[in-house]
């Protein structure tokens, strides 16, 4: 075990002395997991807590692609703030670097494992410690056979970039001149031009191929950069001197180094990945030449050049195509509309609203930057690259008389009170196109948005289905409840069996494993954005909620609507937990109870939960399998076929709907729990708690239902 690593330093404590809720849930899950042995627990000086575990019986082949062992030691660090997913480290001293899905850190070891490619804010409401441990095991198992991700996924970036520069066009080594323009604090553009128009000289430096490690650094001066070796065996300093000699030695244009960094994965058969970086020296060739002539010897000059401060920016590929947006005219429907999210779908709907004059004013909220790869399916133009999307869209539509547009270039989860007031106080409609569960839940559950009509829309992974959740005018069918109705339909409808299947092809962009896009047909996006715009407009004259899916037929380019059932809800508060259960669920259970009043019956309950909001949503049940045992006063649910039921639900809902508990009937008695029922609740709730899951018990009797729950 890597006992000398700082990550495992700290005061040793007993597991039952852990204080952080996240650490406690992981510790309890680890105790219960059959492949996990707990080595120790630590509390660090920053009050973070570390659980050190040993994973055994990993499914590693005799000849693995990478030297992963059947037994590996892992450190899991939970931070006090609980804002990010717990950190995971492989702490074996000789654990290999450069493996797929290794996080970039300032140190080479311990190796930081990327066990999830989903933002923590989106999985936090339903974070499950048992699943989290399984994701770590999956990381080792799949990496050992080279199947953790697709073979053409690029490696992580070489430098620990903070700034980004977008190429406006292609580079030519024949005419190495450019115009460098700063766009925002952390973004810029570089356009390659003729010498007469240039403000920069571009020195191309191709580095030797490097085997990638989970190690990133950001050089602060030429000396730190000089540790890298070029493909022709020269140092960076030697390359700069040669470039100065071969070009105009009197040039007072800024000198930029354009680094081409070739990286290899640890797998010997993998292809190279080339990172591009721009290095700003803050000096021109004329200054460098003057200092070389003044220096008394070569070492003195090299020392001066080594000390020059530099700024490194990630250089992104030039855009590949322009964007065309369709529009037609419509009547004004709203006084103000607020849009959250300006991605593929959001930007196209905004385009419709502005061009069609749907609203007198539009507020756009988004923190995202417009990168060059967005141009494939976005309304903005190449000149907007490396700028904030929201303010660029505002500028994009400047000059349209009668439409006021303003932007807030921030994450909607982090707005100031004044920004909240500007965005939402006077709005008629909030359109959430962020594709974030966290945003949808905030809009649904926060009192700040009461009285505002809200809708959420998104595309399925393949981009051929549009999903629209629109609250009713009174807000009784909230977005979170409509989300549950949507999940219910995914389980029940055979038409939607493949709705959430991922695309056959996926593209990974430069930044990390989280910058991944499905390959979508932009024609479908355009058609579905038009449908979304029309359906939202109809809300102005219709007070009912709306829940539907619109599907594109790729063969004949027609669009059909799939109507979805909207559930009705009851809510019961139990131990500060709000349990939402659908009336349709109760009716379904009552049907099974009444089918044979000579004996008890029962089944499994399914739904979703939100730990932050302390909400449990129960909306689906599966009747007891045939191997169940029952009598007039007894019921024991069987198991035959339940794994297939779970697999179906997981696949159709993409693991959003979970098993939540059990129900059974009292055919000729009230719904009050018997002593055996209470014992079952205690036993199963403890078992589910050990797996970091809630548990719900429902009993139906002659006088209605009894409900109990724990989270």
Nearest to 136 by CA among 91, 166, 82: 91
- DSSP E strand boundaries for 126-239: 164-167, 177-184, 187-192, 200-206, 210-211
**Cβ contacts of 28-37, under 8 Å, gap ≥ 24:** 28/129, 28/689, 28/690, 28/692, 29/129, 29/130, 29/132, 29/133, 29/690, 29/691, 29/692, 30/129, 30/133, 31/690, 32/130, 32/690, 32/691, 33/130, 33/133, 35/137, 36/133
- Of 330-334, 389-393, 682-686, where does mean pLDDT reach its minimum? 330-334
Q: What is the pLDDT of residue 265?
A: 60
DSSP 402: T
pLDDT digits (tens, 9 = 90+) for 72-87: 999 999 999 999 999 9
The rounded distance, in Å, linking the Cα atoms of 260 and 317 is 12
pLDDT digits (tens, 9 = 90+) for 330-359: 566 788 999 999 999 999 999 988 888 878
Average pLDDT, integer, range 124-152: 86
Q: What is the pLDDT of residue 248?
A: 77
pLDDT digits (tens, 9 = 90+) for 161-185: 778 998 877 776 667 899 999 998 8
Mean pLDDT score across all residues of the chain: 87
Average pLDDT, integer, range 644-669: 94
The rounded distance, in Å, linking the Cα atoms of 705 and 698 is 7
**Residue 379 near residue 398, CB atoms below 8 Å:** no
- Of 38-47, 100-109, 580-589, 616-625, where does mean pLDDT reach its minimum? 100-109
Q: Return the structure tokens found at 270.
A: 């993998």
Residue 1 has pLDDT above 70, yes or no: no
Q: What is the pLDDT of residue 454?
A: 95
Task: State the pLDDT confidence band at 323, using cuts at 50, 70 and 90.
Answer: very low
Q: Return the structure tokens found at 627.
A: 């191997």
Nearest to 440 by CA among 569, 340, 531, 362: 340
Specify the higher pLDDT residue, 148 or 630. Answer: 630
User: Which letter, b or e, does each residue of 392-408 get, where b requires 16 or more Cβ atoms within 10 Å of its Cβ?
Assistant: bbbebbeeeeebebebb
Question: What are the residues facing 570 on neighbouring strands?
Answer: 581
Q: What is the pLDDT of residue 321?
A: 27
- Of 14-18, 34-38, 75-79, 263-267, where does mean pLDDT reach its minimum? 263-267
Average pLDDT, integer, range 455-475: 93
444 φ, ψ (degrees, to nearest 5): -75, -40
DSSP 124: G
Specify the higher pLDDT residue, 325 or 347. Answer: 347
Residue 589 has pLDDT above 90, yes or no: yes
Q: What is the pLDDT of residue 508?
A: 47
Task: State the pLDDT confidence band at 327, using cuts at 50, 70 and 90.
Answer: very low
Q: Return the structure tokens found at 35.
A: 């492949």
Contacts of 590 (CB under 8 A, 6+ apart): 700
DSSP 380: -
3-state class (DSSP) for residue 180: strand
Which residue is associated with the tokens 């620990």? 160
- Of 287-301, 468-482, 598-612, where does mean pLDDT reach its minimum? 287-301
Task: State the pLDDT confidence band at 302, using cuts at 50, 70 and 90.
Answer: confident
**C-alpha 206, offset from chain centre:** 33
DSSP 189: E
Q: What is the pLDDT of residue 512?
A: 42
**Does the N-terminal peptide bond of residue 443 adopt cis geometry, omega within 30 degrees of 0?**
no
Specify the higher pLDDT residue, 59 or 246. Answer: 59
CB-CB neighbours of 22 under 10 Å: 21
Tell me how far CA of residue 563 lies from CA of 486, 495, 547, 607, in angstroms: 10, 11, 7, 21
**Residue 172 near residue 260, CB atoms below 8 Å:** no
**C-alpha 560, offset from chain centre:** 30
Average pLDDT, integer, range 633-647: 90
The rounded distance, in Å, linking the Cα atoms of 701 and 706 is 8
Task: State the pLDDT confidence band at 292, using cuts at 50, 70 and 90.
Answer: confident
Specify the higher pLDDT residue, 250 or 487. Answer: 487
- Strand 629-631 with 634-636, pairing: antiparallel
Nearest to 710 by CA among 686, 691, 698, 694: 694
What is the pTM assigned to this prediction?
0.76
Q: What is the pLDDT of residue 43?
A: 96
Residue 118 has pLDDT above 90, yes or no: no
pLDDT digits (tens, 9 = 90+) for 503-531: 665 554 444 444 455 677 889 989 999 99
Q: What is the pLDDT of residue 397?
A: 82
């Amino acid at each position: 075990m890597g006992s000398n690593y700082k990550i495992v330093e700290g005061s040793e404590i007993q597991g039952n002395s852990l204080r952080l809720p996240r650490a406690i849930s992981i510790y309890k899950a680890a105790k219960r997991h059959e492949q996990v042995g707990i080595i120790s627990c630590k509390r660090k000086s920053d009050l973070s807590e570390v659980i050190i575990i040993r994973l055994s019986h990993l499914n590693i082949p005799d000849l693995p692609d990478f030297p992963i062992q059947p037994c590996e030691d892992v450190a899991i660090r939970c931070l006090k703030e609980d804002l990010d997913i717990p950190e995971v480290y492989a702490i074996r001293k000789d654990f290999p670097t450069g493996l797929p899905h290794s996080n970039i850190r300032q140190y080479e070891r311990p190796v930081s494992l990327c066990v999830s490619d989903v933002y923590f804010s989106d999985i936090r409401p339903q974070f499950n410690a048992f699943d989290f441990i399984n994701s770590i095991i999956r990381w080792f198992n799949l990496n050992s056979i080279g199947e953790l991700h697709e073979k053409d996924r690029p490696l992580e970036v070489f430098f620990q970039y903070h700034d980004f520069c977008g190429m406006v066009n292609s580079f030519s080594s024949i005419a190495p001149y450019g115009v460098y323009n700063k766009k925002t604090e952390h973004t810029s553009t570089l356009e390659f031009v003729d010498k007469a128009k240039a403000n920069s000289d571009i020195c191309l430096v191709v580095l030797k191929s490097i085997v990638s490690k989970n190690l990133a650094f950001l050089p602060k001066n030429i000396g730190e950069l000089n540790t890298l070796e070029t493909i022709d065996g020269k140092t960076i300093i030697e390359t700069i001197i040669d470039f100065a000699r071969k070009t105009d030695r009197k040039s007072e244009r800024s000198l930029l180094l354009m680094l081409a960094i070739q990286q290899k994965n640890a797998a010997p058969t993998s292809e190279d990945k080339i990172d591009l970086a721009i290095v700003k020296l803050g000096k021109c060739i004329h200054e460098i030449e003057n200092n070389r002539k003044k220096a008394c010897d070569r070492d003195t000059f090299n020392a001066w050049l080594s000390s020059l401060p530099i700024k490194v920016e990630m250089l992104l590929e030039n855009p590949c195509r322009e964007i065309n947006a369709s529009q037609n005219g419509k009547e004004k429907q709203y006084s103000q509309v607020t849009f959250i999210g300006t991605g593929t779908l959001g930007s196209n709907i905004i385009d419709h609203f502005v061009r069609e004059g749907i609203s007198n004013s539009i507020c756009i909220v988004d923190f995202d930057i417009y990168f060059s790869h967005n141009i494939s399916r976005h309304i903005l133009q190449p000149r907007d690259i490396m700028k904030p999307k929201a303010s660029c869209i505002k500028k994009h539509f400047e000059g349209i008389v009668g439409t006021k547009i303003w932007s807030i270039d921030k994450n909607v989860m982090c707005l100031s009170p004044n920004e909240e007031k500007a965005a939402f106080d006077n709005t008629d409609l909030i359109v959430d196109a962020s594709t974030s569960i966290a945003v949808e839940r905030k809009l649904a559950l926060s009192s700040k948005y009461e009285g505002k009509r809200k809708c959420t829309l998104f595309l399925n992974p393949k981009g051929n289905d549009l999903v629209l959740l629109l609250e009713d005018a009174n807000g009784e069918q909230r977005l979170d409840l409509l989300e549950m109705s949507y999940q219910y339909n995914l389980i029940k409808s055979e038409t939607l069996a493949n709705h959430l299947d991922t695309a056959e092809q996926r593209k990974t962009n430069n930044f990390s494993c989280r910058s991944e896009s499905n390959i979508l047909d932009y024609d479908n996006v355009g058609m579905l954005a038009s449908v979304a715009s029309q359906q939202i407009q109809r809300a102005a004259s219709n007070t009912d909620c709306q829940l539907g899916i619109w599907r594109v037929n790729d063969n004949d380019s027609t669009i059909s609507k799939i109507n979805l059932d909207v559930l009705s809800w009851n809510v019961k508060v139990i131990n500060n937990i709000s349990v939402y259960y659908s009336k349709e669920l109760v009716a379904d259970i009552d049907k099974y109870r009444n089918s044979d009043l000579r004996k008890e019956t029962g089944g499994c309950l399914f739904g979703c939960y939100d730990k932050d909001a302390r909400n449990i949503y129960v909306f689906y049940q599966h009747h007891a399998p045939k191997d169940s045992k029952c009598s007039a006063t007894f019921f024991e649910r069987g198991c035959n076929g339940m794994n297939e039921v779970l697999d179906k639900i997981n696949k159709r809902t993409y693991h959003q709907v979970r098993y939540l508990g059990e129900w059974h009937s009292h055919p000729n008695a009230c719904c009050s729990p018997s002593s055996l029922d209470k014992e079952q609740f205690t036993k199963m709730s403890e078992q589910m708690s050990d797996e970091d899951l809630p548990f719900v018990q429902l009993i139906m009797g002659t006088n209605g239902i009894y409900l109990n729950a724990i989270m």
